């Protein structure tokens, strides 16, 4: 009971001391708060951006990998180089038919990126992307239908003049808000009947976003033919845990289709949907380290400032310490009082810094289209760091105060 009362008395003395030096306390709290705000704020923004990146690339097709024409810059190795040719329709179709691994396989092709879409008196700029797709493409790409339906396999084979449009295209063409389903629009010189409208996705990371439209694969072959066209094969395993095995199976089959020997270099590219996301997140991690160092350096400065203020406080209260010792206060009690004061100031700065950091970090995410998050790990880290700062800054002044001779202290002016 006595120990408990002693702790309460020390806390009261610490609070009264803080209140009696309010301006100095506020400045110290602000110094600590700025350090914590810098640390928590940047780390909050980084976590939000990471979450956004992961979400965007999951929307591009979670657990999906693609086979496409290889960039010549990707080539190299000890194997024999072979012709780096495009993936033609026959190769893509053969792969889709022969790939026996439990997975969904889709074939797509970029028809054009400069189409002009018209409906009645409305017309878009000549910058609309048109893709030829099969019935599985929406599944492997992470796209979803908002209104209408997907293409059927028979419509893919016959190459009918039907189209699925992005949500932004619908807003541009159907300005009165009427339904786009079963309406006829013009893509270049061809007329298409709208059978579906895609859910809104956004345009993060330079993608086509919602100004996009899909036509049946064989229709794209007929209406957007070019000798340089290369098809893309997308594969989504039924079991996400078997992704790496599926990648190996797919590469082996396509090498067989390409008639490559074990001595030949692979002349196509196999890439997972999350590879770019991981690369971006890895680059952001470097920023995280830099931000953490900046925050810690700021906290070091705050710690030195707090220690200086506590030393000044010891000098100003030397006579008070002498009186307390003369009345029977032990050295440990005096030390405890100053440590309480230092930790209390540190925690006030930490709480303020954490609140400001979360607000600042999430303000940054507004510009990146990220989501609001509360980084509980960084909050706990901030509280812990402020506790360490309080102990580290208050220990030396507390020890100095506890070792004062009561007679010398009472004579201090």
Mark 75-92 as b/e (b = at least 16 C-beta within 10 Å). Answer: eeeeeeebebeebebebb
Q: What is the pLDDT of residue 309?
A: 76
Distance (Å, whole) CA 324 – CA 167: 76
Distance (Å, whole) CA 149 – CA 332: 77
Distance (Å, whole) CA 3 – CA 146: 68
CB 204 within 8 A of CB 56: yes
**Torsion on CA atoms 157, 160, 162, 163, rounded to nearest 10:** 50
Per residue in 3-54, pLDDT (tens digit) is: 556 667 667 766 776 777 777 778 778 878 887 887 788 777 777 776 666 6
- Look up tokens 């006829």; give the residue: 184
**Element (H or E) spanning 128, and its range?**
strand 128-133
Tokens at residue 212, please? 């996009």
Q: How many CA atoms lie within 13 A of 182 on its CB side?
A: 1
Q: Which of 376, 363, 394, 381 is nearest to 296 (CA)?
A: 381
Pairing type for strands 212-216 and 128-133 reads parallel
Q: What is the pLDDT of residue 76?
A: 52
Distance (Å, whole) CA 95 – CA 136: 14
CB 37 within 8 A of CB 361: no
Strands (E), 232-344: 232-237, 268-272
Distance (Å, whole) CA 291 – CA 143: 36
What's the predicted TM-score (pTM) here? Answer: 0.59
Pairing type for strands 162-165 and 212-216 reads antiparallel
- Reading the chain (413 residues) residue by residue, the pLDDT tens digits are 455 566 676 677 667 767 777 777 787 788 788 878 877 887 777 777 766 666 655 555 557 889 988 876 555 555 666 667 889 999 999 999 999 999 999 999 998 888 899 998 889 988 899 999 999 999 888 888 999 999 999 999 999 999 999 999 999 999 888 899 999 999 988 999 999 999 887 655 445 568 899 999 999 988 887 667 889 999 989 887 888 899 999 999 999 999 888 888 888 888 876 655 566 666 666 777 777 777 777 777 777 777 777 777 777 777 777 777 777 777 777 777 778 878 888 888 888 888 888 888 777 767 766 667 777 777 787 788 788 877 877 778 777 777 776 666 565 55
The CA radius of gyration of the chain, in Å to the nearest whole number, is 33
Q: Chain centroid to CA 181: how far?
A: 36
Q: What is the pLDDT of residue 165?
A: 94
Q: What is the pLDDT of residue 132?
A: 93
């Amino acid at each position: 009971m006595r120990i408990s009362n002693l702790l309460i008395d020390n806390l009261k003395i610490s609070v009264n001391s803080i209140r009696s030096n309010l301006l100095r306390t506020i400045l110290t709290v602000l110094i600590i708060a700025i350090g914590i705000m810098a640390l928590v704020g940047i780390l909050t923004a980084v976590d939000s951006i990471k979450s956004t990146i992961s979400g965007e690339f999951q929307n591009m097709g979670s657990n999906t990998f693609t086979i496409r024409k290889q960039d010549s810059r990707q080539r190299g190795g000890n194997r024999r180089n072979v012709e780096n040719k495009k993936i033609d329709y026959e190769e893509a179709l053969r792969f889709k038919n022969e790939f026996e691994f439990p997975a969904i396989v889709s074939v797509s092709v970029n028809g054009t990126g400069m189409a002009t879409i018209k409906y009645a008196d409305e017309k878009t700029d000549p910058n609309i992307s048109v893709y030829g797709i099969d019935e599985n493409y929406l599944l492997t790409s992470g796209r979803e239908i908002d209104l209408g339906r997907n293409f059927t396999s028979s419509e893919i084979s016959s190459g009918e003049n039907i189209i699925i449009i992005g949500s932004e295209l619908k807003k541009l063409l159907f300005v009165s808000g009427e339904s786009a389903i079963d309406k006829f629009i013009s893509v270049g010189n061809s007329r298409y009947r709208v059978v579906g409208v895609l859910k809104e996705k956004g345009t993060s990371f330079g993608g086509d976003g919602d100004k996009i439209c899909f036509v049946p694969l064989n229709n794209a072959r007929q209406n957007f033919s070019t000798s340089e066209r290369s098809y893309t094969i997308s594969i989504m395993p039924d079991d996400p845990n078997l992704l790496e095995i599926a990648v190996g199976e797919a590469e082996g089959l396509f090498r067989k289709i390409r008639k490559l020997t074990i001595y030949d270099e692979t002349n196509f590219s196999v890439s997972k949907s999350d590879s770019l996301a991981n690369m971006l997140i890895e680059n952001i991690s470097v920023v995280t380290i830099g931000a953490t160092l900046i925050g810690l350096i700021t906290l070091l400065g705050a710690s030195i400032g707090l220690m200086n203020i506590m030393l000044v406080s010891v000098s100003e209260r030397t006579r008070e310490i002498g009186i307390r010792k003369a009345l029977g206060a032990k050295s440990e009690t005096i030390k405890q009082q100053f440590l309480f004061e230092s930790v209390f100031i540190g925690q006030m700065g930490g709480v303020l810094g954490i609140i400001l950091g979360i607000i600042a970090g999430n303000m940054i995410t507004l510009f990146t289209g990220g989501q609001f998050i509360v980084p509980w790990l960084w909050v706990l880290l901030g509280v812990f760091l402020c506790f360490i700062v309080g102990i580290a800054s208050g220990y030396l002044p507390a020890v100095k105060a506890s070792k004062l001779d009561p007679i010398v202290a009472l004579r201090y002016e």
